[in-house]
Homo-oligomer: A and B are copies of this chain.
């Protein structure tokens, strides 16, 4: 936790601190989301999770003040700290302090007609044993059904993703498991499937769960080329041909699909949840 840096232009970099009594993930999410609205502002970030004692709070106070004085720029601090005493210590540093709880808790208390519990770090904490197992099972399901599905597993799948190699199926399945607790399988379409222009027999009974991912051939070429540079597998012509035939198969078999070329893993997963009209399991 020792930072002072300069931007490419030599001027001091703004430092963002994400402070939390738990993992810091909520504070990071809030801060990153806000900073996307200020894209031309270069910054470096420091996450300080698990601030659950005055000792840790003290060390963080010193660090923020040090960065402020050395850089001459007050750090921007995003806090989800719950303990009011620790929060006050940090808010009093030489910084611009954004307090996530303060901003929203009071109006929520009014609307819900109750006081908040001031419970520490529950948001990304262990919720309960069942939710934990749902996530773990979903992850295991994705791993067991990555790069091909077993017929006996298909009936337990929430969604089954189809696409040629490197369209983003695996990360999407893992994200669906981790974030939503959903069981997602993936089936890589092979030459034989593309030639047949038909769904593999194993998938026939599960048409309602099938979703295709397509991708711009240039982009597929770029991705495959990182993996196997100069290979026939990565050749642009081959990518074009596979994509064309895959989209033909999707059309012939009436499989819903969408173009994931410019989508993040989160966007692909979120889009699938919408299209499949499925409820999250956690």
Contacts and interface: CB of A to CB of B under 8 A. Distances in A.
Given A33-B123, A175-B178, A274-B50, A114 B40 contact: yes
Interface in A238-282: 262-267, 269-271, 273-274
Contacts of A174: 139, 174, 178
A145 interface: no
Contacts of A40: 114
Contact of A119 (B37, B80, B135, B175): B37
Contacts of A9: none
A203 interface: no
Nearest to A98: B104
A19 interface: no
Chain A interface size band reads: 35 or more
Nearest to A113: B41
B108 A34 contact: yes
A100 B127 CA distance: 24
Contact of A38 (B112, B127, B266): B112
Interface stretch (A20-28, A64-72, A150-158, A183-191): A20-28
A133 interface: yes
Contacts of A122: 36-37, 39
A133 B41 CA distance: 24
A170 interface: yes
Nearest to A41: B112
Interface string A107-126: 11001101011110011111
A38 B114 contact: yes
A111 to B, nearest CB: 5
A135 B76 CA distance: 27
B178 A262 contact: no
A33 B37 contact: no
A49 interface: yes
A226 interface: yes
Nearest to A14: B112
Contact of A34 (B32, B104, B136): B104
A103 interface: yes
Contact of A143 (B26, B135, B146): B146
16 contacts: A30-B100, A33-B80, A33-B100, A34-B104, A37-B82, A38-B117, A39-B117, A41-B114, A50-B274, A74-B111, A96-B111, A125-B266, A126-B264, A135-B171, A135-B265, A136-B168
Instruction: List 10 A-B pairs, minimum CB-CB distance, nearest first.
Output: A37-B116, A36-B122, A23-B270, A124-B266, A33-B123, A26-B33, A29-B29, A126-B264, A96-B111, A23-B266
